[in-house]
Structure 1
Amino acid sequence: MLGNMHAAIAAGFLFASSVSVTAAPMWTTVGSGGFDNGYASSITYDVNAARGSANDRGNAQNALGAADTSFFEIGFGSYIDLTFGTLFDTSVSVFEITFGNVLSWPESAGIFVGDGIDFQLIASIDNTDAQGGGVFPISLVGTFDTVRIKDTSPTRGLSTGGFDVDAVRVTPVPLPAALPLLGAGLAVLGFVGWRRRQAA
């Protein structure tokens, strides 16, 4: 009886040691968070997501700013949240770098927009063509401050960490035309009020 129990415990340890353990997500945010001509300026991502390190693809800063062929791998099954220092409501442009090479690097992702808490899917993207990305219109009512890109890549081919993001850009919500005029009018009224107080 005791021998059988030891054998069962040993088998349990052997089984446990052969199972790969995925590290728990550890979220971090990098970037300035300011406005950068509509390009992403801040990224929140899971440090422990499965991604490679060659070509600096593990550097989240590569997904910020304008497209420059440096890129960040989202990580298989993981996602990133990008902010832009502005609200947007028109479209999202995504720039990738392995387009047209789907046989070696099959990659895909879902593109969502939201407010940092609630998100809605606006498009799916993959790298089956050679365009290097796409522009995805937002047909939802409201304004948004965050783009979420969720990797849906199959874990095959040479890809080490799923969908590659070079850059993401949004079209900022324009200020109403009357707003600058209102600001100028308030400034004039403030100056006139100040002059009257000085004269009194």
Structure 2
Amino acid sequence: MLNFIRALSVMACALLFHANAQALEILIDDFSEDQTLLQDTVVDGTGVHSQVNDGGAGTILGGYRDIYVEEIDNGIASQPDNPILGIRAGVSAGRFVAVLDDLVKAYAVVTYDGSNEVGSGWNVEGAGGVDTGGLGGISFAGIAGFLFEEVSNDLVAPAQLIIWTDDNNDGVYVKHILDFVTFGDINDGDVYDAFISAAGFSDFGSINWDKVGAFQAIFNLSNDGDTLLNVDLSLSRATVVPEPAALSMLGAGMLMLGFVGYRRRKNQ
């Protein structure tokens, strides 16, 4: 009987621990919803954009994905734009892909802010731009960072993650920026998982992770406006992942509950 109770407690704790671990991982996008390829081949200070929704399937954070791409340099001084060369980005076959043609400098922005469509005002808050509270203040509590799975890109390139959070619980969403570089897989062509630690936000400790209103990922663009030539990127499944320590504490707590239950049965 003792062995049965112990086994039952361990099994229950393992199942609960696994279920909570899965629940704490928040899906940003599994890119199962296709989005028509966008292309910008003109350097004119604006780009092109589109939006798709997941039809309530829960495969996109907030239900809607906005993509914006903009070419900022055709790479040929004193020459007119080439109507063929530029940046292309879209989603198909479960992957987000952004491709820059030879000599082109450009960037791509993916925005999740609920139903608001974000176009050339992707970096503007409010009307015509990002609905900073559009996600309704969802919780990223216990966050360790952001995981971009099966990523492939051919160069180490600048990138940003941007979130808006209600830091004072007053309905005002504050912008936070994390600058980093993609790792690149030059010459090997392999895919890899890219984990971006939330601690990379300089103000990590003051961010209210319990109330996130909008999220963006910007590829091939730094906070200083720098870009690189000829960067190709593809990725699938992006998630918010929890701190392992928090999950360990949860599991330990469940084991303790199982032990207490056993002791009570024994005493009775």
Which has the greater radius of gyration? 1
Going by fraction, where is strand more abundant, 1 or 2?
2
